[in-house]
C-alpha cells in the first residue's frame, strides 16, 4: 500500500511539464484536487435578532472539503456550522456550483437556522438565487458569495435575519491524504431499486459479479472482469484508481455472444463507449459513482442501432470474503471503581455511557460521557481495530467536551483524552474477552485552554496536571434486541368516545399504514412514518417531521401538539384551519407492540383539536389548542387481514402528494407554487396535478398548505 497526496501529484506533474517545455499545469484539475482543509474568514455582523444564536457563528474557522457523492464535493464548516452533512456541490473549470445550500438537514447551522442569500432571502421564497463559488486553480483559494443566517416561518419564507457574512473566502491549508488501497478481489454489485433508478420494464439484470486484479504494486491500474451470469459473457476491461474513484473503461464491451447487448454512453445509446465509476467507501465496499447503462441492438430502417435497455445510478459492490471478527458498534455502559477527580470546577460522573458507530471507513466513538468526540474532532478520530480490540486514539486533538467558555468566546477550555498513564503516546483500548465480557483500559483527561486575540488567532495551552483519572473500569455492552419489521398495513377496531359533532370517527375497519421512507440521493433509510391513520396522513400533514421510533418489538408513534393527523376544517381563504392532532397532554408516544405469539397490542390514544390562524400575508400564525375530539380505547389490531375491507377516507381540504413522478394537489382552489431545493419556482398556477419535473425533493405551496414531496 502506498500513500500519496495531491501536493505530491502536483509536483510530479510540474516536473514533467518542465521537461516537456510546456506551461506548468494548474493545481486544480479535478474535484479531488480540492479535497482537504481550509481556513474560512469573513466580515461577520450579528444582528440584534441573532444575539441568542451568536455561538453558532464564526468569522474564522476550519472548513473541510471532501467527496459528496453523488455530487463532486461536500463542504462542511462554513461560518462555524457543525452540521455533519454540509453543502453538496459540483466543480467545473474553476467554478463550484452549490447544489444544496443548507445540506440534507435543510438547516445549515441546525434547527432553526438556515443559510439565506446576501439580502436575507430564503431559498424557498421564489427568488431563485443560487450559490456559485470561484476557485483560483493555482492557489486553491476559494471566493464565496455573501450570505446570511436566517430563520424561516411556517411557509419557509424569511422570518428573521440573524447574521450577515461578507468578504468570505476559503484559504487552502492542507490537502487530504490520498491512500491508494489495493482493491483487488471479488465483488458482488447490486443496484438499489425503488423505481427511480432502474428500468423496471427491462428483464436485464441489475446485479453482476466483478473481479478486480491489480496490475502492479502502485494499485492504480487494474483489470476489471464483469460477469452478469448465465446467458451473458464476462467482459475484461481496463481500469484506473486515483485513491478516490475507480474508473472502468467499457468501450465496445458486448455482454452477449451475439453482440445484442453492450455498455453504452448515458447520453447516447448508440455510442458503445462508457466509463463506469466506483467510489471507494471502505475495504469492504465500493459505491457506484455515476451510472451503468446497457443498450440493446435493434433493427431500424435496414440497419442495426442501439437503444437503451437498462440503467441504474445507485448501488454498492460488496467485497466477498471480508468480515469483521468483532462488531464494536453499539452503546456501552462504564463504571469507574477507582476514579480521581482533580479539579473542582466541573462535576465528573463515575458512571457514563459511550457510543461506537460504524461509518463507511471504520469505527468512531461518538457520544463519550459528556461530549461527542466525532463531532469535536471533525471526524478525525478513526479507531484502529486489532483482532478483538478497538483502539481509541488520544492526544490534544481528541476533544471530549467543552467545559468552559467566557461570554465572547475568546477563552475556552476543553477536556481532551489521554491514556491511563497521562500520555498521548498510547491508546484507550476496548476489548471483547474470550468469555464474552468487555474490558477497557484506564484513561485520563487533561484541560486544553484556548485563548483568541482580537484577530481570532488562537493560543493553546495544555494543563500540566490531570483534571480527571478513570481507573478500574467495568464495561457492559447493551444487548441489542432484533428490531421487528413494522412496515405494512394494519387494521384496528376500538371503542370510540367523541367530544365533537362535526365528524364521525370510525370504530371498525380502521386503517393504519406504516411505511419506510428513503433518502432520494443516497438511498439510505430515513425511518418509518405513519402514512395513514384513522382519517389522515401524519407523514404528509407534518412534512415528515414525526418519524416513528423502533425499539426491538415496540414501535413508537410520536404524540405531540403539532402531530397533525388531518385538517378537519378550513375557512374559504385558508387563513384559519382546524386539525386533529395525536395528543392528550400526557403520552409522548403511542406504542404498538409485536407480541411473541404473533399478535399485536396498541396503546389507547386521543385526538385533540388544534386551530391555526394566519395573517393576511400567510407569514405568521397563531396556534390555539382546544379540547379533545375523540378517544380510542380497548383497541384490537392485526396486520393486513384478508377479511377486512378498506374504508373510504375523507379527503382533506387540500391534500398534496407525489406518485409516479406526478405531484397531485387535491381540493385546491388557490394557486399552486412548486419550488425546487435550490429555491427556484418551477411551477406557478392553478392545477390539480404538476408533471414533467425532474426527480428530487420539492416544496409545494397551496393556500396555507406547505408540503415537501419527493419525486
> pLDDT averaged over the chain?
85
**pLDDT tens-digit series, residues 559-581:** 999 999 989 999 988 899 999 99
Cα–Cα dist 262/250, whole Å: 9
Residue 233's contacts (CB-CB under 8 Å, 6 or more residues apart) are 254, 255, 256, 257
Cα–Cα dist 377/390, whole Å: 18
How much is the average pLDDT of 448-470? Answer: 90
pLDDT at position 678 is 58
Ramachandran angles phi, psi of 4, nearest 5°: -130, 155
Cα–Cα dist 604/590, whole Å: 8
pLDDT band at residue 167, thresholds of 50, 70 and 90? Answer: very high
The CA-atom distances, in angstroms, between 234 and each of 225, 228, 254 are 6, 7, 9
**What is the 8-class DSSP label of residue 194?**
S
Q: Are 681 and 675 in contact (CB under 8 A)?
A: yes
**pLDDT tens-digit series, residues 511-567:** 899 999 988 777 788 999 999 898 889 999 998 999 999 988 899 999 999 999 989
Q: What is the DSSP string of 338-381?
A: EEEE--SSS---SEEEEEEEEETTEEEEEEETTEEHHHHTTT--
pLDDT band at residue 407, thresholds of 50, 70 and 90? Answer: confident
Helix (H) or strand (E) holding 164: strand 158-175
Q: What percentage of residues in the chain have a pLDDT greater than 90?
A: 48
Residue 18 pLDDT > 60: no
Q: Are 88 and 127 in contact (CB under 8 A)?
A: no
pLDDT band at residue 69, thresholds of 50, 70 and 90? Answer: low
Cα–Cα dist 269/338, whole Å: 69
How much is the average pLDDT of 615-621? Answer: 88
**pLDDT tens-digit series, residues 329-367:** 989 999 998 888 988 888 899 999 999 998 878 899 988
Residue 2's contacts (CB-CB under 8 Å, 6 or more residues apart) are 180, 217, 218, 219
What are 164's three cell numbers? 450577515
Length reported for the chain: 711
Residue 583's contacts (CB-CB under 8 Å, 6 or more residues apart) are 559, 560, 561, 563, 606, 607, 608, 610, 625
Residue 21 pLDDT > 90: no
Strand partners of residue 431:
389, 439
Cα–Cα dist 285/362, whole Å: 12
Q: Computed from CA positions of residues 131, 136, 140, 141, in that sequence, does the dihedral angle turn out positive or negative?
A: negative
215 versus 435: the higher-pLDDT residue is 215
What are 397's three cell numbers? 486533538
**pLDDT tens-digit series, residues 173-214:** 998 877 788 999 999 998 876 545 788 788 999 999 999 999
How much is the average pLDDT of 9-35? Answer: 57
Burial (Cβ within 10 Å: 0-12, 13-18, ≥19) of residue 103? buried
Residue 12 pLDDT > 60: no
**What is the 8-class DSSP label of residue 481?**
P
Q: Are 466 and 491 in contact (CB under 8 A)?
A: no
Residue 146 pLDDT > 90: yes
pLDDT band at residue 677, thresholds of 50, 70 and 90? Answer: low
Residue 22 pLDDT > 50: no
Cα–Cα dist 554/538, whole Å: 19
Of 310, 360, 338, the closest CA to residue 473 belongs to 338
How much is the average pLDDT of 158-172? Answer: 95
Residue 301 pLDDT > 90: no
Amino acid at each position: 500500500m502506498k500513500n500519496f497526496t495531491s501536493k505530491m501529484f502536483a509536483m510530479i506533474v510540474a516536473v514533467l511539464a518542465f521537461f516537456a517545455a510546456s506551461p506548468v499545469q494548474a493545481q486544480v484539475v479535478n474535484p479531488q484536487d480540492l479535497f482537504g482543509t481550509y481556513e474560512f474568514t469573513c466580515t461577520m455582523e450579528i444582528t440584534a435578532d441573532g444575539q441568542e444564536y451568536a455561538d453558532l457563528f464564526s468569522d474564522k474557522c476550519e472548513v473541510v472539503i471532501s467527496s459528496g457523492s453523488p455530487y463532486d464535493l461536500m463542504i462542511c464548516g462554513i461560518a462555524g456550522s457543525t452540521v455533519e452533512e454540509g453543502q453538496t456541490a459540483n466543480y467545473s473549470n474553476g467554478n463550484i456550483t452549490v447544489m444544496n445550500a443548507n445540506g440534507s438537514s435543510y438547516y445549515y447551522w441546525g434547527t432553526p437556522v438556515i443559510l439565506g442569500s446576501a439580502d436575507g432571502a430564503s431559498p424557498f421564497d421564489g427568488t431563485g438565487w443560487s450559490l456559485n463559488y470561484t476557485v483560483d486553480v493555482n492557489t486553491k483559494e476559494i471566493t464565496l458569495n455573501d450570505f446570511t443566517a436566517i430563520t424561516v416561518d411556517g411557509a419557509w419564507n424569511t422570518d428573521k435575519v440573524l447574521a450577515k457574512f461578507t468578504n468570505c473566502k476559503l484559504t487552502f491549508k492542507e490537502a487530504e491524504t490520498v491512500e491508494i488501497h489495493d482493491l483487488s478481489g471479488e465483488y458482488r454489485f447490486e443496484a438499489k431499486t425503488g423505481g427511480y433508478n432502474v428500468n423496471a420494464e427491462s428483464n436485464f439484470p441489475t446485479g453482476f459479479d466483478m473481479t478486480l486484479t491489480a496490475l502492479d504494486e502502485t494499485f492504480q491500474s487494474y483489470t476489471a472482469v464483469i460477469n452478469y451470469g448465465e446467458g451473458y459473457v464476462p467482459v475484461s476491461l481496463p481500469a484506473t484508481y486515483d485513491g478516490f474513484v475507480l474508473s472502468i473503461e467499457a468501450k465496445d464491451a458486448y455482454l452477449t455472444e451475439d453482440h445484442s447487448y453492450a455498455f453504452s454512453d448515458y447520453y447516447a445509446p448508440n455510442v458503445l463507449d462508457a466509463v463506469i465509476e466506483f467510489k471507494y467507501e471502505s475495504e469492504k465496499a465500493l459505491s457506484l459513482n455515476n451510472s451503468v447503462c446497457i443498450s440493446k441492438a435493434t433493427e431500424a430502417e435496414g440497419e442495426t442501432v442501439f437503444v437503451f435497455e437498462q440503467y441504474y445510478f445507485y448501488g454498492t459492490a460488496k467485497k466477498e470474503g471480508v468480515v469483521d471478527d468483532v462488531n464494536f458498534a453499539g452503546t456501552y455502559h462504564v463504571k469507574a471503581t477507582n476514579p480521581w477527580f482533580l479539579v473542582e470546577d466541573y462535576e465528573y460522573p463515575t458512571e457514563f455511557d459511550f457510543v461506537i458507530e460504524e461509518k463507511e471507513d471504520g469505527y468512531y466513538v461518538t457520544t463519550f460521557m459528556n461530549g461527542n468526540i466525532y463531532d469535536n474532532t471533525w471526524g478525525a478520530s478513526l479507531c484502529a481495530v486489532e483482532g478483538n480490540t478497538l483502539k481509541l486514539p488520544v492526544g490534544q486533538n481528541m476533544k471530549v467536551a467543552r467545559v468552559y467558555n467566557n461570554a465572547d468566546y475568546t477563552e475556552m477550555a476543553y477536556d481532551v483524552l489521554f491514556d491511563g498513564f497521562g500520555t498521548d503516546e498510547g491508546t484507550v483500548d476496548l476489548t471483547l474477552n474470550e468469555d464474552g465480557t468487555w474490558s477497557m483500559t484506564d484513561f485520563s483527561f487533561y484541560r486544553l485552554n484556548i485563548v483568541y486575540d482580537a484577530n481570532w488567532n488562537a493560543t493553546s495551552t495544555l494543563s500540566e496536571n490531570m483534571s480527571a483519572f478513570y481507573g478500574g473500569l467495568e464495561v457492559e455492552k447493551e444487548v441489542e434486541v432484533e428490531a421487528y419489521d413494522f412496515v405494512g398495513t394494519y387494521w384496528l377496531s376500538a371503542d370510540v368516545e367523541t367530544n365533537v359533532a362535526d365528524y364521525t370517527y370510525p370504530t371498525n375497519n380502521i386503517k393504519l399504514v406504516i411505511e419506510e421512507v428513503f433518502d432520494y440521493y443516497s438511498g439510505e433509510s430515513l425511518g418509518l412514518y405513519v402514512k395513514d391513520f384513522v382519517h389522515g396522513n401524519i407523514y404528509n400533514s407534518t412534512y415528515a417531521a414525526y418519524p416513528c421510533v423502533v425499539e426491538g418489538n415496540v414501535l413508537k408513534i410520536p404524540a405531540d401538539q403539532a402531530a397533525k393527523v388531518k385538517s378537519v376544517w378550513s375557512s374559504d381563504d385558508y387563513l384559519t384551519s382546524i386539525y386533529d392532532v395525536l395528543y392528550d397532554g400526557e403520552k409522548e408516544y403511542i406504542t404498538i407492540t409485536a407480541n411473541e405469539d404473533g399478535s399485536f397490542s396498541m396503546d389507547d390514544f386521543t385526538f385533540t383539536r388544534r386551530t391555526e390562524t394566519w395573517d393576511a400575508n400567510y407569514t405568521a400564525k397563531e396556534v390555539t389548542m382546544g379540547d379533545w375530539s375523540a378517544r380510542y380505547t380497548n383497541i384490537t389490531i392485526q396486520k393486513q387481514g384478508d377479511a377486512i375491507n378498506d374504508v373510504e377516507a375523507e379527503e382533506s381540504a387540500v391534500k398534496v402528494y407525489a406518485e409516479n413522478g406526478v405531484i397531485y394537489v387535491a381540493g385546491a382552489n388557490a394557486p399552486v407554487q412548486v419550488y425546487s431545493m435550490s429555491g427556484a419556482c418551477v411551477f406557478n398556477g392553478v392545477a390539480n396535478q404538476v408533471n414533467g419535473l425532474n426527480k428530487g425533493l420539492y416544496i409545494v405551496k397551496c393556500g396555507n398548505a406547505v408540503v415537501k414531496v419527493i419525486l
